[in-house]
Amino acid sequence: MTHNLILRVVSKSLIPLIIVFALYVQFHGDFGPGGGFQAGVILSAAIILYALVFGLDAAEQIIPSGILRILAGLGVLIYAGTGIVTLFSGGNYLDYSGLVGSQIAGQHLGILLVELGVGITVFSVMLIIFFAFAGRGRP
Amino acid sequence: MIDVFINVILLAFLAITAVAIVRMTNLFAIIMLFGIFSFLSAAMFIVMDAVDVAFTEAAVGAGISTALMLATIALTKDHDEKQSVSYRPWLPLVVVIATGAALVYGTLDIPTFGDPDAPTQTHVAPYYIERSAPETGVPNIVTAVLASYRGFDTLGEVVVIFTAGIAVLLLIGGRRRKSTAVRDEREENDA
């Protein structure tokens, strides 16, 4: 597929749009449909499209699998760490009300952080799984 | 009225897709039909106003899992041998029809769609609808429930995904020889 001109041109113009849409879904999840899970999947779909058109090695150069493994753990760490921080700010585990200033602001910040953790983990795990399966086919 | 019309059409397409999947032997075409099936389900969720679920179904069911299944058949053969049936499938047919009839009979007791007196609408849903906006300031109730009220459950979900990634890496992720070779190359270049 690497020599297909139409696929290369179309996917080159599509991938930035997919990434912007994923970021929109990630950070606009409080207001519209979506959230970290969907955003992570969409973002990994952009990389998978790149891998399908330009080859697996090119995609692994953008995001090396070592970084992906760190990111997968980092997302869970952000999520669970937010819970620990809320413990220190006087609330229950994952009760964001006391994070900053008012209750609403704390909830906003907490939901944003938690969704970010979900997004990072889902994105990297989806790519880890895809690279693991697709990498097996290589000679 | 228009909802019913759209639902009937979508359900008919779902049934047609399912029958086509059962009758096919070309695995590549079957994976494409799986994607179409997920997309039709997502359309049904939108008609039922569950946009967050529809979003997930479209992204995961039609998107990622199609790509993963394609990556999988790239490793195996893309055809399934047609098996000649040597017995008459009457018993399975009877079991399927009886189970289906029991399920349809069970749906008769289910409250109608959107019924305000249904148990799902009278339990915790009113609390979320009334209190989520003043308590969290988030207009999307689904996000408020997922990330705030049920934050602990969502943490569990993320850990499940993380564990799935680890399991896949442990089972088929090993390409250690090549990655160390690349690292050696890099170190040589650095030196």
A25: nearest Cα among A53, A54, A45, A51? A45
Q: Which two tokens stand for residue B73?
A: 């058949």
Question: Contact at 8 Å (CB) between A118 and A75?
Answer: yes
pTM: predicted TM-score of the whole model, two decimal places: 0.83
Question: Which residues 40-79 of A have a C-beta within 8 angstroms of B?
Answer: 41-42, 44-45, 48, 52, 65, 69, 72-73, 75-76, 79
pLDDT digit string, tens, across residues A67-92? 999 999 999 999 999 999 988 888 88
A45 Cα to chain B: minimum distance (Å): 7
Half-sphere exposure of A102 (CA within 13 A, CB side): 7
The CA distance from A106 to A90, in Å, is: 12
Check if the beta carbon of residue B62 is closer than 8 Å to that of residue B38: yes
Helix (H, G, I), strand (E, B) or coil at B79: strand
B138: exposed, middle or buried (Cβ count in 10 Å: 0-12, 13-18, 19+):
buried
Predicted complex ipTM = 0.90
pLDDT digits (tens, 9 = 90+) for B12-35: 999 999 999 988 888 889 999 999
Task: Give the rounded distance of the alpha carbon of B74 from its chain centre.
Answer: 22
Find chain A residues with C-beta within 8 A of B180's C-beta.
none
Nearest CA of chain B to the CA of A120: how many Å?
A: 10
C-alpha to C-alpha distance for B156 and A117, rounded to whole angstroms: 12
